[in-house]
Amino acid sequence: MEKTYSLTAHYDEFQEVKYGGRYSSDILSNGMTLSLGGSLDRHTTRGRGGTLSNGRNKDLGSTSSSGGLPRWSRREICLLSALVFAAGMCVILGSMLALKYISLDAQQDPQCRQDCQRKRSLLRAARFVQSNIDPTIQPCQDFYSFACGGWLRRHGIPEDKLSYGIITAIGEHNEEKMERLLLEPIRRQGVDSAERKVKDFYRSCVNVQEIDKLGSDPMTEVIDSCGGWDMSGAPPKTPGWEREGAPQRPDFNELLYRTQGVYSTAVFFSLTVNVDDKNSSRNAIRIDQEGLTLPDSSLYLGQDEDSVKILAAYKALMERLLSMLGAHNATQKSKEIIHLETRLANVS
């Protein structure tokens, strides 16, 4: 009885069948000659089949496709199935964990959430304190260096400031936040909207093109409303308070009201509201001395070389500004202003 060959049973012997679409015939490892279907041999059967050299037709099935593409092996199919199964299990487990987290968060009461926020705030404050201290210094010997040494090492005094501290750094950080909020689009467009008023006012201050277009006219109007550089247009003082024959002087109270109340400029004193030093649970009105343009009163006294340079630069800047704002004899007026501020610095 003639021996029958099966491609399924003898897969290793007929491995060449997978790439048989590239050739018209081939010799297998057992010495048999294989003729693939689709050749020009008219004696072969039509369709996807093959004829062995012993005259028997062997059905190749779907081993060789019409395009000659190799079929996936069983091992490759098993590996692909395992990969798809593992990916599916990961997706299912991830979805279960997400649902569990959402359900736990929804079940928390407001008191628990508030406690968690308080804990996070305490941890943030603890990290801030830990980063600012200097643990290498004994607090009983130098408590200031122990408490502030870490912060002092990371922060130096900027070139444009005479002093710098944590309060100044917090103020700069808050100003950056305020700037980002003011530059956001206006949501409440109403006529009486406080948001629209504040953002429009800020944008008018940073609109450089419009400021350059107006020039010094707005400031000149303010100076003229206060009497001008020579005080010739200032409101006169109420009669009855001056001696007979004395030159008429402008009303000091009216000028003080316009500068302090209308234009919010601290001329001789400043009026602020701060926390009461004796009772931190309430605020108190605080009146402090003002009137100096330079940041420190010692700069007017010229006690060192740097103070002399700063005072000379301040005088040159003042002369330039007075000339731009329409003042006559700007050099003389700048000397008078510096002389007045120097007298205030001596009594500050």
Question: What pLDDT, in 10s, does the model give residues 76-128?
Answer: 888 888 899 999 999 998 888 888 777 666 565 565 566 777 888 888 889 98
Is residue 123 within 8 Å of residue 117, measured between CB atoms? no
Is residue 269 within 8 Å of residue 289, measured between CB atoms? yes
Whole-number Å distance between alpha carbons of 292 and 268 = 8
**pLDDT, tens digit (0-9, with 9 covering 90-100), for 222-272:** 888 887 887 765 666 555 445 555 556 677 888 888 888 888 888 888 888
**pTM (two decimals):** 0.46
Whole-number Å distance between alpha carbons of 290 and 83 = 77
pLDDT score of 142: 93
Q: Which of 216, 183, 214 has the alpha carbon at shortest distance from 200? A: 183
Q: Which residues of the chain have pLDDT under 50?
A: 1-25, 28, 34-66, 240-241
Rg of the chain over Cα atoms, rounded to whole angstroms, equals: 46
Q: Which of 57, 71, 56 has the alpha carbon at shortest distance from 20? A: 71
